Chain A
Amino acid sequence: MKKEQIITQLKELIEEQTEKRINNNDEDINIDSFTMMLVITFADQKLNIKLDMDTLDFDKFKSLNDLANLILTNKKKVILK
């Protein structure tokens, strides 16, 4: 799955959860723990990517781009293994 597709799905998920529109991929989405955990479950169940605790740094994931990069980093790790 390409980054754009991941971003589209994440955007849909987070907008539904927070009921706020995200206007661009670098916008600070002010993500809370509840939404962050939802992203973790989404990555596992929809994309079959298990997010590794070692790569999670809550203070660094502020935008859709950051989240998509996080998911792609973990995807690469799975492939390398």
Chain B
Amino acid sequence: MLFHTLTFAIFFASVFFLYINLSHRLQNRMLLIASYIFYGAWEWRYLFLLFISTVTDYFCGLGIEKNKEKSQKKKFVYLSVFINLTLLGIFKYYDFFAENFKDLMGHFGFETHPYFLNIALPVGISFYTFQSISYTVDVYRGKIKACKNFLDFSLYVSFFPQLIAGPIERGSRLLPQILNSRLISKENIINGLYCIFWGLFLKVVIADNMADLVNPIYNIDNPINGILILLATYSFAIQIYCDFSGYSLIAIGLAQLMGINLMENFRRPYFSLNISDFWRRWHISLSSWFRDYMFAPLYIYFQNSSFFKNKSIQSRHLIFFLLVLFATEFLLGLWHGAGWNFVFFGIYHAFLIGCYYLSKKYWDNLNKYLQIFLTFNLVSIGWLIFRSDTLYQSLIFFRSIFTDWSLSNELILVYLKQFIVLSILLFAHEIVEEIKNNRYAILNASKYIQYCIYTFMIIIMMVYGQFGEKKFIYFQF
């Protein structure tokens, strides 16, 4: 059930109608049923995975709170992490590791026949398992109290607007909003509708039309032209941003209509001044998850060890930072998908962040617009790796970009025109938001300007929008 389909519109209208006519307790129960229907509509056979995660973390949360001894509490955290990651490992990574094991053994002359599951990836598994894990860790850290009501906790794990592709929420933010009664203000309605409207525009107009530029180039093994690859790569940079931030905005908007505030997931990442800044603006809920539950604990573990005790503060910090950075980005890459190109994507970003901090003094003195331009290009190289089917394909594409610059291909002009028009549609809006530093900047414009903008957007959506034709990219993660 895709957000940009009539089926979903009918589904949400029904949910919303019931929602505004029910008491708080019944709202929660109805939302839970709706969330399971929403997920079941994708693949009902995987509902049990969602249920296992929920049951595990509900009881682990209670176990942590009940026990006074830290060592006992820790056991429940380990249990939660183990069960969640095992499910993720089996359903997302098993075939990948089995394939690589087979190849590795074959390399040494051993023929192996591992069993392959050959199953479709359970949609949203990477998102809800991470959200669920963060809950038990936060209960352990004492940041939140364990949720006593199983049905309310189930809603926390399965809340349908953000179940499939985030934002990955935290217990400290979402649970209180579930447990306490909610007020739907006029501001909620206006902001929510605005988010849904802009999110839809990003998805059906910009992302899906950009996809038409990207897919024909990336789906062939022998690239035709370096300039076309470059254009397709820049197009993909815009596509993935509009696709994913579009989804997040719709999710935020839907939740707001029900009086629930979800966290911001994107903050105009293509205006980042450096690569570190990029990760503070891109998929914020995931990067902050890795920072809080992996990067910082691992760093503190090294810090508390006796490694490099004789080094100065700065040197010790730099060594640990780089070590932990590479480990985190490796896993962050792998989180995106079971493929070496995703792993390399993560390592590439770790390398860029490392280089940035090593050359910070020089980089920060560059012209601001040059910093933005360079960062966008470095990020786009990462997208080339990310979008390629294999590492080998990305290497071939890189070679073509640097060697084949023939301008004779008539497709270039067609591609360029579409790329420029779609980019203008995106950045005209983004620039206003960036200058005002406000996601709702357009809502502060005069009514007349707003009507003109909305009318223009509706016409563009009706003419060029691709409703319900293409899935969201991040569903595959």
Partner of B276, one of A19, A34, A45, A50: A34
**Chain B 276-300 interface mask (CB, 8 Å, partner A; 1/0):** 1000100000001001100111011
In whole angstroms, what is the CA distance A45 to B377 when docked? 39
How far is the CB of A21 from the nearest CB of chain B, in Å?
A: 14
Q: Is B316 an interface residue (CB 8 A)?
A: yes
Q: Are B303 and A19 in contact (CB under 8 A)?
A: no
Q: In the complex, are the beta carbons of B317 and A41 less than 8 A apart?
A: yes
> Which residues from A are CB-within-8-Å of B314?
38
Residue with the greatest number of chain B CB neighbours at <10 A, chosen from A19, A40, A41: A41
B42 within 8 A of A: no
Q: How far is A46 from B366 in the complex, measured between Cα atoms in Å?
A: 33
A41 B291 Cβ-Cβ under 8 A: no
Q: Number of residues in A with C-beta < 8 Å to the partner? A: 21
Instruction: Please judge, given known A-B contacts A19-B361, A53-B141, whether A42 and B296 are in contact too, CB under 8 Å.
Output: no
Contact of A56 among B296, B304, B321, B361 (CB under 8 A): B296
Tell me, rounded to whole Å, the shortest Cβ–Cβ distance linking A6 to chain B: 15
A33 near B: Cβ within 8 Å?
A: yes
Contact between B313 and A34 (Cβ–Cβ < 8 Å)? no
| Across-interface contacts of B288 in A (CB, < 8 A) | 58-59
Decide: B297 and A45 in contact? CB cutoff 8 A.
no
Residue A32 interfacial (CB < 8 Å): yes
Q: How far is the CA of A29 from the CA of B281 in the complex (A)?
A: 17
Write out the residue numbers on chain B whose beta carbons fall within 8 Å of the beta carbon of A45: 313, 316
Q: Which residues of A contact B291 (CB under 8 A)?
A: 33, 58
- Residue pair A53, B364 in contact (C-beta under 8 Å): no
Residues of A near B364 (CB, < 8 A) are 19
Question: Complex: how many Å from CA A62 to CA B304?
Answer: 24
Tell yes or no: A44 within 8 A of B by CB. Answer: yes
Residue B93 CB within 8 A of the other chain: no
* CB interface residues, B 241-292, toward A, < 8 Å: 276, 280, 288, 291-292
Q: How far is the CA of A59 from the CA of B172 in the complex (A)?
A: 12
Cβ B303 vs Cβ A41 within 8 A: yes
Q: Known contacts being A34-B321, A34-B357, A54-B142, is A41 close to B292, with CB within 8 Å?
A: no
Say yes or no: B316 contacts A41, CB within 8 Å. Answer: yes
- Is B361's CB under 8 angstroms from A37's CB? no
Contact partner of A37 among B142, B280, B299, CB < 8 A? Answer: B299
User: In the bound complex, do residue A41 and residue B297 qualify as a contact, i.e. CB atoms below 8 Å apart?
Assistant: no
A38 touches B361 (CB 8 A): no
Q: Which residues of A contact B182 (CB under 8 A)?
A: none
Bound Cα distance from A42 to B357, whole angstroms: 18
Q: Could you tell me the distance in whole angstroms from the C-beta of A18 to the nearest C-beta in chain B?
A: 9
For the complex, is B320 an interface residue (Cβ under 8 Å from A)?
yes
- With most chain B CB atoms within 10 A of its CB, the pick from A33, A51, A57 is A33
User: Distance in Å from the Cβ of B142 to the closest Cβ of chain A?
Assistant: 6
> What 0/1 pattern do residues 305 to 319 of B give for CB contact below 8 A with A?
000000001101100
- Measured in the bound complex, the distance between the Cα atoms of B297 and A50 in whole Å is 12
Query: Are A41 and B313 in contact (CB-based, < 8 A)?
Result: yes
Interface residue? B470 (CB, 8 A): no
In the complex, A44 Cα to B316 Cα: how many Å? 11
A33 to B288, CA, bound (A): 10
Residues on the B chain within 8 Å of A34, using CB: 276, 321, 357
Chain B minimum-CB-distance residue to A39: B317
Q: From residue B296, how far is it (CB to closest CB) to chain A in Å?
A: 6
Listed from nearest, the 5 A-B pairs whose CB atoms lie closest are: A54-B141, A41-B317, A38-B317, A53-B297, A37-B299
Q: Given known contacts A41-B320, A53-B297, A54-B140, what 18 new A-B pairs fall within 8 Å (CB)?
A: A19-B364, A33-B276, A33-B291, A36-B296, A37-B299, A37-B324, A41-B303, A41-B313, A41-B316, A45-B313, A50-B300, A53-B296, A54-B143, A56-B292, A56-B296, A57-B143, A58-B291, A58-B296
| Between-chain CB contacts (< 8 Å), 21 pairs | A33-B295, A34-B321, A34-B357, A36-B296, A37-B320, A38-B313, A40-B299, A40-B300, A40-B303, A41-B303, A41-B316, A44-B303, A45-B313, A45-B316, A46-B313, A50-B304, A54-B140, A54-B143, A58-B291, A58-B292, A58-B296
